[in-house]
């Protein structure tokens, strides 16, 4: 996991890169610092796959489902669910760099 923080954007890059086979499997989750959302998140829809020599962007099926549910709830609740999502994101600050750091014992159980 890699975290990125700027004055306008927080992002988390999570997944794996196999250096032996050069296979890439990454998800990128950027979040605007304003915290406001329309209920439709394009960033969660894309994943990176392929190899280091030939990377490919693909569709993150879980991201498509999450966006569809969020939009559907927005319509069903007359926008109340989107307002609640905005309120939650504005009160909870993300810290992707801090969250990406794991104690060595979390990575290798039994390590000191």
Is the pLDDT at 3 greater than 70? The verdict is yes
Q: Is 75 within a domain?
A: yes
Phi then psi dihedrals of residue 22, to 5 deg: 65, 20
Whether residue 107 lies inside any domain: the answer is no
- Residues whose CB falls within 8 Å of the CB of residue 90, separated by 6 or more in sequence, listed in order: 35, 36
Does residue 106 form part of some domain?
no
Answer yes or no: is 50 within a domain.
yes
The domain tally of the chain equals 1
Region 4-31: what's the mean pLDDT? Answer: 85
What per-residue confidence (pLDDT) applies to 38? 53
Give me the percent of the chain exceeding a pLDDT of 90: 14
Query: Does the residue 84 lie in any domain?
Result: yes
Helical ranges in the chain per DSSP H: 61-76, 80-91, 96-100, 104-107
- What is the widest separation between alpha-carbon atoms in the chain? 52
Distance CA 63, CA 53 (A): 26
**pLDDT, tens digit, 9 for 90 and up, residues 58-106:** 877 776 666 666 666 666 676 665 656 655 555 556 666 666 666 656 6
10 Å Cβ neighbour count for 85?
A: 18
105 occurs within a structural domain: no
Residue 109 lies in a domain: no
- pLDDT bin (cut points 50, 70, 90) of residue 1 is confident
Residue 57 pLDDT level (bands cut at 50, 70, 90): confident
Length of the chain: 112
- Residue 101 in 3-state DSSP? coil
Dihedral, CA atoms, 6, 27, 98, 89, nearest 10 degrees?
70
For residue 33, the enclosing domain spans 2-100
pTM of the entire predicted model: 0.52
Is residue 37 predicted with pLDDT exceeding 60?
no
pLDDT band at residue 32 under the 50/70/90 scheme: confident
Residue 52 in any domain: the answer is: yes
């Amino acid at each position: 996991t890699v975290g990125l923080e700027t004055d306008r954007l927080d992002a988390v890059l999570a997944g794996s890169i196999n250096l032996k086979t050069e296979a890439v499997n990454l998800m990128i989750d950027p979040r605007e610092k304003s915290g406001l959302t329309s209920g439709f998140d394009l960033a969660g829809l894309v994943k990176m796959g392929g190899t280091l020599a030939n990377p490919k962007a693909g569709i993150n099926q879980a991201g498509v489902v999450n966006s569809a549910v969020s939009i559907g709830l927005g319509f069903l609740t007359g926008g109340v669910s989107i307002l609640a999502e905005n309120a939650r994101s504005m009160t909870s600050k993300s810290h992707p760099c801090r969250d990406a750091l794991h104690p060595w014992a979390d990575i290798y159980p039994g390590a000191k």
